[in-house]
Structure 1
């Protein structure tokens, strides 16, 4: 894949621990699967709906894939689409920016402006 950036959705608690540690070893689902799940830009809304429905106060971290080198593998997942997976810890140095994701009054996630 030629994508330069991907996204990790984290809970507020996960984000605070990530910041404190300087690296993220993964959410429980990541640890269970053996890699850190990321989403391409066009996959974020689907990931939110499938895995974070009803959850408020989330953090969307933009990850520079070039900083991760060979630890990134694009692998088939939901519906046969290729998703970026990180084999190893995700270093804070690879996060280029972050944004809050909140729930709207209708219960749908509100993505950052320009997303």
Structure 2
């Protein structure tokens, strides 16, 4: 299994939990769902994107092979390749939901909350 991660504020995820698919807030603008791969990159992206975020942050753990929408690896401004999901993320591809914990101003992957 190839796991990729999607960061999502808990309050937003609660609107989608139990539905047949998930779409982030910026999907209409972006045209895809942002994802990361690997714990280190996940933490780096969380620190950058959610640096000042005070709420609860979750991670959707996605089995890339189960995604019904295409997953493409594309280079970002930082020069790294990121997985982008081009379409709705089907719930059965989300194999776990984990918390993100903030310690000393940095985000890290926490325990399963599902």
- TM-score, structure 2 length as denominator? 0.84
Larger strand percent: 2
Alpha-carbon distance, 1:70 to partner: 6.0
Correspondences of 1:22-101 after superposition (within 5 Å): 22-28=20-26, 30-41=27-38, 42-55=40-53, 56-68=55-67, 71-101=70-100
Q: Is the 8 A contact 1:18 1:92 kept in 2?
A: no
| Aligned residue pairs, count | 109
In structure 2, stretches of 5+ residues that fail to align are none
Paired residues of 2:10 and 2:57 also in contact (CA < 8 A)? yes
In structure 2, C-alpha distance between the alignment counterparts of 1:13 and 1:70, rounded to whole Å? 24
Q: How far did residue 92 of structure 1 move?
A: 1.2
Consecutive unaligned residues of structure 1, counting only runs of 5 or more, are: none
CA displacement 1:4-29 (0-9 Å, x = unmatched): 1100000012211121423112222x
CA gap 1:10/1:32 in 2 versus in 1, 3 angstroms: same
CA distance in 1: counterparts of 2:20 and 2:57, whole angstroms: 18
RMSD over aligned CA atoms reads: 1.9
The structure whose residues are more often helix, as a share, is: 1
Work out the CA distance in 2 between the residues paired with 1:87 and 1:47: 19
The 8 Å contact of residues 54 and 107 in structure 1, kept in 2 or not, is answered as no
